Every structure is written in structure tokens, then in C-alpha cells.
Amino acid sequence: MEENFHYSTVSDAINKLRKRGFNLDFNLAENCIVCNAEKFQPNGFEIVDVFRYEGNTDPADEAAVYAIESKSGLKGILVTGYGISTDTMSGEMLNKLQRRH
């Protein structure tokens, strides 16, 4: 069973997620998720946890930290902007990820 946490900063969330085994760094690319130059389809991943952060003074500082896991067991972190700083492609790609229930 997953424990529910909320970390005070993006870097704190990343550090604690790494201790929970989310050691890979994932990035969004056109129609795929990328890790170490390897490309993956987003529908092969689930969102395990998500943490949202708002900048105190600048709306462009808004970020979301996703703990994601592939069906084959790869576990890592995906950090994206949200709100004003979210681009359309990122939003569409994130919609393809499944939320773990």
C-alpha cells in the first residue's frame, strides 16, 4: 500500500522518491517518454504519486512531480510544469499515462 506524503519542495520530493526506489529520470518527448535515450510509450506506465507545487511569487514556477512505474517494473520521476507553463503536448502526453488506483 502506498503511503501518502506531501513534500515541502520539488527537490525534497525528488530526494524522498529516490529513497522509495524511483531512481530513473523520465522526460516527455513527442509521443513518448524518454529515459537515457530510450523511448517508451506512455500507455505502458502508471502514475503512482503526483505532487504539485506553486511558486510563491511567479506563476511560471508551478511544477508537478510524478512518480511513475512501467508495467515492466521501471520506476522513475517525471517533472513537468503545470498551469500557465504547461504546453499542450505535455498535457496530452500526461493524459495517456494511467493513474494507479
pLDDT digits (tens, 9 = 90+) for 39-76: 998 888 999 998 888 766 555 568 889 999 999 999 99
Q: Where are the domains of the chain?
A: 10-99
What does the pLDDT read at residue 34?
A: 92
Q: Does residue 30 sit in helix, strand or coil?
A: coil
Q: Which of 37, 99, 45 is nearest to 71 (CA)?
A: 45
Q: What is the 3-state secondary structure (H, E, C) of 44-88?
A: HEEEEEEEEECCCCCHHHCEEEEEEEECCCCEEEEEEECHHHCCH
* Ranges 3-7, 40-44, 62-66, 86-90: which has the least confidence: 86-90
